[in-house]
Structure formats: structure tokens, C-alpha cells
Chains A and B, each alone.
Chain A
Amino acid sequence: MSSRTPAWRTRLIAAAASVALLTTAACSAATDSGPGGGKDTAAGPVRDGGTLTVAQASDADPGSFLKTSVGNILSEYTVLETLTLMDAKTGKPKGVLAKSWKLAPDAKSIDITLRDDVTFHSGRKLTARDVIFTLKKVRDPATGAAGQAIAQQITSMKAEGDHELKLTFSKPTPNVFDLFETAPILNPATYDDYAAGKNVDGTGRFVWKSWTPGGRIALTKYAKYRDAKNTHLDKINIQVINDPTAIVSAIRSGRVQYGVGAAALDARSLSKQPGYALLSSGGSAIPFSMDVTKAPFDKKEVRQAVQYAIDRRRIVQQVEGGHADATSLPWKKNAVGYDAGQAKHYGYQPDKAKKLLAKAGVKGATFKVVTLNTPEATSIFQIVKNNLAAVGLNAKPEVLSATEYDGRIAKRDMGAPAVQMMNSNALLPASAVTSRPEFVPNDNLLHVKSPAYTKLVKNVSDASTPAAQKKALHAYNAYFLDQAFAVPLITRPTLTVRSTSVGGIAPTQTGFLNLGQAWLSEPKG
């Protein structure tokens, strides 16, 4: 190529480019040729003051805090507070508004003591009645809340004084903390005002100051917060930039210090530059799911063969750049009863896959696979297709946009015998098996239905002690892996990129981000 390019042309371009460079280099350079910064770059020292500007892809949705709508991903836990939050490390709940709690041994009731020093931004003190109001809203199907399924197991809610309450359940509900996690306590007096976004009252470290639909949300420090001295920032601006590449550009240009909604590949490549770092939050499982009623997957051996045929490690390395786990289990590693041995169940064994296929009498089957149209999903599918071809299976993609995909899931009709899914794995197993379409024992997306499976699901959702949870999950996993209808190819965190000037962003179990204690190392404005 270069032999055909005359030298003068190269020189001309170089000259022109360097002239342009000279005039601008004095101010600043958009590239930095230093050795790549790397993801381990820590944020600067904690400092007080400043305005943090962050970006998100979807517009705010203040009417949907209980739905954990993605539009509230940056504001929900910054403005509002929940009773408890899962600790990312231990997988155990930590008190926020709840000072202490006691789950009955049979997990059929819980006693909660609230902090007594909590006030809403409007000035009123938080009481047990506010909690009950919120939980009632969660229970109401009209709300469409994330914790609805669990909340419907609540049979009675009783306030004992201002700061104590007791919940009783119709059946063991050890996963009540999944409900608490997604139920920020709202102010009953202003409940109807939330949706308009004018009066969003909460108890969090930041006050919802204003919202321009489609534009930005302005938050300011709540000066009377019970622990205000550990709130570092003065203001937070949340910009809505509904376009993934623009979010990356905004972070790169320093206009915003952090953003959610950019493509992982872009985030990874920006994080390699000095001054930027990756932040992993939430998490996803990407299962290769097969409809157990549709040929050729009506045979268990074929489903197992598919799982053995796929080289998970190659997906981790070649698609995810190493930022993922090759695992056969759809749970977070911190889930009680997570078994690392079971997680390794499906290794890459194409010969075994071929034997299983031969045993099932399936040869050269062709089938459709629904996938999403994201670059990640398409790339993973290329490896899957190649791996399956190697054992004589011909997978044909049907590529769908996210809305079409969601629609088919909701209809419980994928229109294809197989689907390469993209799921959140934030929920505890007990909640997931009763709410995720690929796990539920009734009206299952993959048409899994058997008394044995229903029983296993019930055991997982009802187990109240760690020992029982461990046992139930182990039994469920054994069946789940043997039946191989929705075994993950990989699980991976959600990767976002931040400027190293910002620190203290705390991801929640569901992948939302609490900015309450974020700080800027070089406060501006």
C-alpha cells in the first residue's frame, strides 16, 4: 500500500498534520502516547467539595423508583435509601435505614428496628409507617415494582412504635432482602408528586433539586443528613446523553467524570488510557438456552452436547478481553451455597459432545438461534456457531433488537428453539428461580415443566437457614446442569469507565450506582 503512495503525499500530510499539531499541542493533546494507564489506577485522595458531572443513556424516570427503572440508575440510591443493601463482598445484607433486624428461624417473619435519626429532605422524621406505606405500594400489582413477587408473600405489616415493625409472610421468605434492596422508602405525603420530578423527597445524602426532562438532573448535598460530614460533594449533575459513543466522548473530553450506558468495548479501550479506570458493577449471565419441547433440544443429550461443545474460555478471552468468568452457574459467586465445583461442570469437551449427539441419534441438525444485535452478542454467537459446527450442528442466527427480544420474552415465545440470552444475575437464587423467565417452574420460557423441578425451585425459594439454602441450591444446580436448558456460557460484570479524578462510586447488587459518598480529587466549581 505504501509503495503506491508517493513520498511527497505522505510528507504533505505529515507536514499539514504537524502544523495543526503544533498550533494545538501547546494547549493540550487528545492522545497520550505514554504507556497505557491501566485499570488499577486508583482515584486521587478524598477531598471535600466540588460538582460531579455524570452521564447516563436514558432519561430519568422518577415515577418508577420502585421499578428500579434504568433511568434512575444514578439517582435512586443517591437520593433515596432502602432498609438494607447487599454487601458486594459478603453477599449479606447491611443496614441502611434499618438499624437491626431479626429473621425468624423458619423465615416466616422478620422484626426490624429503624434508625431513629433519619429525616426526609422535606424535614419530617422517618417512621415505620413510611416503610409500611412503601411496602404496600410494592405489593400493589398496579405499581409493577421489582420486588412485587416477594412483597406479595407478606401477610401482615405491623408498626410497633415509630421505629419498629414486624412483617409476617405466607411462606418462608429468606430472600426478603432482595425486596428491601429494590424498595427505597418514599414519602407518603408526596408520593403522587414523584412522577412529575418536581418534588422528589427522600432520605439520602443528596437532594433532588431539579430535573429537565431529556436534559439533566441536578442534585445538591443534603446538609442535614445524619452523617453529612462524610458526604464529600456539593453538587451532582446527571446529564442524559442518549447515545453510547457520545457518552464515551464526553468522558474522554472531561465534560463528565463518569458515565453509564457506553459500549463495554469502548469503555475498555478508554480505560487503557492514563487518567481513566474501569468500574465494574452489577453483572450479567449469558446463557445458551434451549426450548426443551422443540427438536432437536427435546433430548437432554443434545442440550448437554451443546454445552460441552462450546469453548467458554475462548469467549472470555476473545470477546470479553478476560473480564468475564467461564462458568456454568447463573449466580453471583457470593450467593450462599455457590459451588465452584458445579460452576466448572461444562468444560470444553467437543468429543464428549459428539458422543452425546451420536447417542441421541442427532446428526447435522440445523436450527435457529435468537440473539441480540449488540456487538457483544454477535461476537459470542460467532464462536458458538463455529463450535457447534465443529460437532456437526448448524446454528442460524435470528438477530433481534432489544425491544423485539424483550417482547418475545414477555410473550414467552422466542420463535426459535434456541436463544443466546443476556440476563442480569443480580438477584439471589431464591428470587431468581421464582421470577426469571428461564428459571420459573410455571410458564417457563423454555417450557421446562416437571413436578421434580417445581419442588427444587420451591426448596430454593423457601430455604431459610444458610445450611438449608446451600443444600437446596446444590440440588437445584445438579438438576439445572443435568437438564442443561439455560446453562450460562459466561457471567461478566457490567464495565463502565470513569475518570480517575472521581472516586467512591458504590455499585449496588443490582448494578445501580450510589454516588452518595463519591468524591472528586480535584474539586471544580
Chain B
Amino acid sequence: MTDVPLTAPGAAATATRRRLNPTLSRYLSAFRTPRGVIGLSILGIMVLAALLAPVLFPGGYDQQGSNALTGPSAQHIFGVDEFGRDIFIRSVYGLRVDLSLILTAVPLSMAVGTLIGLAGAISEWLGAGLQRVLDVVIGFPGLILGICLVAILGPGWFPLFLTILIGGLPTAGRLARGAWLTQQGREYVLAARVLGVPPRKLLVRHVLPNAMDAIVVNGAVWMVIGVYIEAGLSIVGLGVQPPTPSIGVLLNNGLRFVTQAPTYIIGPGVVLLLLSVGFSLISDALNEAVNRR
């Protein structure tokens, strides 16, 4: 009785370390597959362009001119908008908004969702209760959730961020809770409990690694949906407010002039497509890598 609790956690710790590294390398192996490489390079270029936008285009996204709605030319490869602004430059700046939303909101959402899912470890009552709350959230389709949040906060970056954050919680929560519930029934968990291993350790060592794969893949999928949520709300007119561009805002503006300048929406549309393809390829690659074991 005195020996076992002392050695068991130590052994488990090394085991975890050994397990975590394979986990990481498994995720990394995703980026060695063709899909992963293509996806990563698409996104890499986009992130780079977004980061370097102020260096590449020091004039900013609101450089107006007297031309309006001219089609693509050597000088303006996406053409210029209704105020004579270069749509390509605006698309690159728009990427900053989209990427800043997705790359912050989605990881946060997955982390918070996981915590909520694992709340059952603290008290079964709390876990079940939070799960009911997530059931309510799931009832609100992403766009409707966004509409609600915009109604409170007014349109802008923050309600978009919250929509993506809150919208992602239920799936992450369910995945984590699912892992917690299955692991709970396992004999070694029961044994560890009997032996007095604190729930926190149980979670970190046994439950989390099991839920991790699904949550990471889900996160990548949710990034695609995040792009769509931004675009959707902006198209409806409830996104980031002008003159700040986002991909959705550009599509919204382009739609207003679709008969006069049909090329307007093509540029931002392609950027959006590339963005979602990039994230999709990565999520596929991750999924493959995870299932390969």
C-alpha cells in the first residue's frame, strides 16, 4: 500500500512523456503527406502575406482613387473597387482579419470546449449540467448565433470572434466528455481511482491523450467553418464594418456591384476558396495521420 502509489505515478509520467511525443510526431507526420504539404504551404503563404501586408503594401487598405470598378489589369490584378481601391491589397489585408479571427478563436474554443467536457471529473453533476448548456448552444446554427451576438454587441470583429468561439464549444465538449465517459469505465482508471490518483492526473494522463486526436482534427475542421461564419455574417452585412476589409466584407461589396463589375467578387472568392481548401487539406491530413496508427 505504501509502495504502489509512489511508483505508479512515476511510471505513468514517463509513459505519458513517451506517449506524448509520438502523438506530436504523429500530428507532424500529417504535414509530410502530399495533402498536408499542399495545405500547409497554401496557408503558410497566406499567413506570411497577411503578416507582411503592412510591409508589402505600406499604403494600407484604404487607398482610394478616381477610377472605380475597373476589371483586373497588370497594375491591379484583382481590379479596383467602387472607391478605386486595389482589391488585391484589400484581400491581403482582409486575410489579416480572417486569420486573426480563426487562429485565435478556434484554438481557444477547442481548449475551453475540452475543459467543459472534462468538467465531469470535478463533479458529475457539473459535467452533466454543462453538457445540457452545450445542447442549447448546438440548437443555434452558427449564423443564428452570430445574429444574436451582433444584436447585443453591434457588428464588428469581437462578435465574430465570440461566434466562432462559442459555436465550436459543443463538439469539442462532446468529444472530451465522450473520452472521459469511456475512460471512466476502463479498469485501469477505476484502479487508479481506488489507489487515490487525483482526477486531474487521470485526466491529463489517460483521458486527454485519448480525446486529443479527435479534438485536433475537429479544430482543423472548425477553422474551415470559422472562415465560412465570417464570410456569411459579413455577406449579410453583420460582419466587420467598413472601411476595414475582411474576405466576407469584400464579397459583400462585390455582390452589390456584381452586374457592373462581375470580376470584383472573383478575387476575394478565390482567396476564400484557397483559405478553406488549405484548412480542409490540413484537417484531412491530420485525420489520416490520426487514423493511421
Name A residues whose Cβ lies closer than 8 Å to a Cβ of B: 1, 4, 265, 269, 311, 313-314, 317-319, 375, 378-379, 382-383, 385-387, 389, 397, 399
Contact = CB atoms under 8 A, between A and B. Distances in A.
B64 A379 contact: no
Give chain B's interface secondary structure class.
loop
B83 interface: yes
B242 A4 contact: no
Given A265-B256, A318-B83, A378-B242, A1 B62 contact: no
B243 A382 contact: yes
A269 B64 contact: no
Contacts of A314: 64, 66, 83-84
A118 B204 CA distance: 94
Given A314-B64, A317-B68, A378-B242, A386 B83 contact: yes
Interface residues of B, number: 17
Contacts of B243: 382, 385-386
Contacts of A1: 266, 269-270, 273
Given A1-B273, A314-B64, A379 B259 contact: no
Nearest to A313: B66
Contacts, number: 41
Contacts of A385: 62, 243
A265 B82 CA distance: 13
Interface string B251-292: 000001001000000100110010001000000000000000
Given A1-B269, A375-B256, A382-B83, 17 more contacts: A265-B256, A269-B259, A311-B66, A313-B66, A314-B83, A317-B66, A317-B68, A318-B68, A318-B83, A319-B82, A378-B242, A382-B243, A383-B64, A385-B243, A386-B64, A389-B62, A397-B241
26 contacts: A1-B266, A1-B270, A1-B273, A4-B273, A4-B277, A269-B259, A314-B64, A314-B66, A314-B84, A317-B66, A318-B68, A318-B84, A319-B82, A375-B256, A379-B82, A382-B242, A382-B243, A383-B64, A383-B83, A385-B62, A385-B243, A386-B62, A386-B83, A387-B64, A389-B62, A399-B241
Contacts of B256: 265, 375
Contact of A318 (B82, B259, B266, B269): B82
Interface in B224-262: 241-243, 256, 259
A39 to B, nearest CB: 15
B258 to A, nearest CB: 10
A38 to B, nearest CB: 15
Interface in B56-93: 62, 64, 66, 68, 82-84
Contacts of B82: 318-319, 379
Most buried by A among B82, B269, B270: B82
A85 to B, nearest CB: 37
Contacts of A318: 68, 82-84
Contacts of B62: 382, 385-386, 389
Which 4 A-B pairs give the minimum distances between C-beta atoms?
Answer: A386-B64, A318-B68, A382-B243, A386-B62
Contacts of A386: 62, 64, 83, 243
A364 to B, nearest CB: 16
A311 to B, nearest CB: 8
Interface of B: 62, 64, 66, 68, 82-84, 241-243, 256, 259, 266, 269-270, 273, 277
Nearest to A4: B273
A314 to B, nearest CB: 6
A305 B253 CA distance: 30
Nearest to B266: A1
Chain A binding site: helix, strand, loop or mixed by DSSP?
helix
Contacts of B269: 1
A397 B241 CA distance: 10
Contacts of B270: 1
A4 B242 CA distance: 31
Nearest to A379: B82
B16 to A, nearest CB: 43
Contacts of B266: 1
B90 to A, nearest CB: 12
Contacts of A311: 66
Contacts of A382: 62, 64, 83, 242-243
Nearest to A386: B64
A269 B273 CA distance: 29
Nearest to B269: A1
Contacts of B277: 4
A95 B243 CA distance: 50
A386 B62 CA distance: 7
Contacts of A375: 256
A10 to B, nearest CB: 16
A490 to B, nearest CB: 15
A316 to B, nearest CB: 11
A385 B273 CA distance: 31
Nearest to A319: B82
Nearest to A378: B242
Contacts of B84: 314, 318
Contacts of B66: 311, 313-314, 317
Contacts of A4: 273, 277
B268 to A, nearest CB: 11
Nearest to B84: A318
A196 B110 CA distance: 61
Nearest to A314: B66
A386 B65 CA distance: 10
Contacts of B241: 397, 399
Contacts of B259: 269
A242 B152 CA distance: 25
A423 B267 CA distance: 38
A389 B84 CA distance: 16
A30 to B, nearest CB: 14
Nearest to B270: A1
A397 B243 CA distance: 11
A397 to B, nearest CB: 8
A383 B68 CA distance: 12
A168 B174 CA distance: 83
B66 to A, nearest CB: 6
Nearest to A375: B256
A311 B65 CA distance: 10
A319 B256 CA distance: 12
Contacts of A379: 82
Nearest to B68: A318
A522 to B, nearest CB: 28
A396 to B, nearest CB: 11
A1 B62 CA distance: 26
A4 B281 CA distance: 14
B259 to A, nearest CB: 7
B39 to A, nearest CB: 14
A474 to B, nearest CB: 32
A155 to B, nearest CB: 52
A378 B249 CA distance: 14
A410 B164 CA distance: 40
Nearest to B273: A1
Specify which of A313, A318, A382, A385 lies most central, judged by the most chain B CB atoms within 10 Å of its CB: A318
B170 to A, nearest CB: 31
Contacts of A319: 82
Contacts of A317: 66, 68
A37 to B, nearest CB: 14
Nearest to B237: A375
